[in-house]
A and B are shown apart, each in its own frame.
Chain A
Amino acid sequence: MATAPAPAVDVREVTVHYGEVLALDRASLRVEPGRVCGLIGMNGSGKSTLFKTIMGLVAPEHGTVAVDGGTSARARRAGAVAYVPQSEEVDWSFPLTVRDVVMMGRYGHLGLTRRPRRGDHEAVDAALERVGVAPLASRQIGRLSGGQRKRAFVARGIAQGARVLLLDEPFAGVDRDSEATMVRLLRELAAEGAGIVVSTHDLHALPELADEAALLMRRVLLHGPTAQVLRPENLAMAFGLGLDGRAER
């Protein structure tokens, strides 16, 4: 008998404090493989903390986290989890080429000295091709446009063979054309079975991108089909005002 595939991400009743500050309060989020979930919330609503919890960077005081059908640690060791950081978290003047960065997706599969073999180079080539930055592969990573940078990091996750993709604000500082390219790319990856969680406070891309959306405000207030979650009366719960398609910061 065929069993249903395990959820890509299954966070249950997770509570996290930073000192006195309550960052997550019994938050639950379950995302199946092949689905794109938009995580909506203001700054400080716990989006980054939720990602950190899924990646095992923060240990919850309460609740459980399962990733790709096992513990977060097991999923990480298996190379199942890829994270695309916010632009501000990256040192764009770091002396690495686009290809170097994408190759870092392979490190978990490599031996002691992480010397890449032919198969790794092929995986990197394919990933660069896939996201459309292959002609720029030998550029220094900072010499890409905002959208190309994001796609280079998605390529790193593709080269890694990740089944769970976490993207933190992938549309910040990205023009509309690049945004459309990114939406297409993520839809393709989901169609191939990846479970994708995208945090954003930029709502206009969501209807095309996300199958489902979750409103976060330390806890998940509402999780359902994107169109339903994006209804003004629902957004008002998470944001108060600012319903012109762009959330208040």
Chain B
Amino acid sequence: MKRLTSITDLEKLQKDLALRRKGENLLVTLCQGTGCKAYESHKIYEAFEKELNARNLREKVSLRSTGCHGFCEQGPLAVIFTGEICYCRVKAEDIPEIVEKTLIKGETVERLLFQDPEGGKRYAREEDIPFYRHQERLLLGQNRLLDPRSIKDYIAQGGYQALGKVLAEMTPSEVVEEVKKSNLRGRGGAGFPTGIKWETTRQAPGEEKYVVVNADEGDPGAYMDRSLLEGNPHLVLEGLIIGAYAMGAKKGFIFLRQEYPLALENLRLALKEARDYGLLGENILGTSFSFEAVTKRGAGAFVTGESSALVAAIQGRVGEPGPKHINTALQGIGGKPTALNNVETWANIPRILERGASWYASLGNRENTGTKIFSLVGKVNNTGLIEVPLGTTLKTIIFDIGGGIKGGKKFKAVQTGGPSGGCLPEKYLDLPVDFDRLRELGSMMGSGGMIVMDEDSCMVDVARYFMQFLKEESCGKCISCREGINMMYDILEGIALGKGREEELELLEELAWATHKASLCGLGKTAANPVTSTLKYFRQEYLAHLKEKRCPAGVCKALISYTLDQEKCNGCGRCQKLCPVKALEGERGSPPHLNHPLCIKCGICFEACPFKAIYVQ
């Protein structure tokens, strides 16, 4: 490919490519995100190729591997255009039927369509599926359409047009103004206004400046950044290049979590292709603007997602946070002004410049504009990556998009913002999800994790789990964070084991306060949220553990025991076969006897019993 040497070159290329795409009558896009890959979606691709070749259709049908479509619950996904027929949980053996019926005859394969768990209605078109229907997929929308390993695909769909427009028509300060006007707030969690950060870096003295993509996504169960980088790396890169132009940076870093090999691969390829096309490097699109970006990999510490720790890590030092009076925007890498933004923040930039700040600001509410990607996981029917305008209520997210609670159980709490977010109870389901509302209630936006819990979740156990995660991920510098979290964990562990004393609740509250107040960085400052929020909204549950030595949700092993209902049991022997410690004794054909001292309360029999004859006490 010839290097693009002017903005008109880029426009011409876009038109050519788009025209060629128009000729595509039949297109099949296959999700090859990490989630679907785990379900062997690459084999589906091979099966499609084989089948198309066998039927001499390879020339007529475009087959495309894409990044994550978001509806991970139903993966692997295949979408057939035109018609946008979405097939769920596709297996390699389904391919001949799809080719025969859908690609040749234009019919749908009913059994592969999404079926609503409640009501059983099937949906053919992707956009009709309730999971997608209530979303506004400003950033994720392209994921299902383009091959992340092809810059041509991105350009064909209007990619790099925002960069072209910026370089042709706007001065750097106009770009910063536009971002300010959009009211975009940092998607990494704190929600700091991006435009103001950019202005600080832009106006900071000195020639040498840096831009950084924070892709050190580490929250358990959260994968929005990974999916953007795996599925649409050029979108993030375009945002970064625009930012570099606006702030006068010559070099950029993409700091990527160690555990994201596919994102790294796609990103490196994107950087190479962008360089080959003259969109990165010296004299971008023939202008006087030059910019280079490289990837840096984290070494596996959660805390390097924190800005000052990330800057330290990029420079090869131990990834530990530094003093907070130093503003990274002014003194970052090598003491030079450094604009550090989250993956999702950068991905918003091309959209803002394509369609204008006022359009962008019309999404969401006044102080919380635009959309936000959440990873909706836990006990909901439709888990996956979702994108909604800020200010959408929890109810819409969990019940309309998420399809409600699995197995018809009752909603209990939702934890927002990753491991150091708070757990919000049912009474806040009408809460508009934005940076400020969540903070007011003792939770946070964080990077956008959302873990839904049902009646079977024990809130003491939840708090204990997150303290365990955080104590291991604290860098250990501040005593308040290192020991504060550790001691909170010890107390919670004691409560879960039935050894807690009531007066320990006060101590727990004091520790939570001190960890929040006395710690240096965001990790320590927010670490106590799971404890304080559960104490605030689910105190009764703590008291049941402490006073009655009872776990109401039946989770804390030390406080529960299993009982067998002789009436319901028909002696099928399934539980006896599965019990790892042989605690269910007796002859097959009659109800077994549960030998309590042997029982390790693993719950396997409880889960397995077809007659629900085993219950928790």
Tell me if chain B binds chain A.
Answer: no
Please list the residues of chain B having a beta carbon within 8 angstroms of any beta carbon in chain A.
none
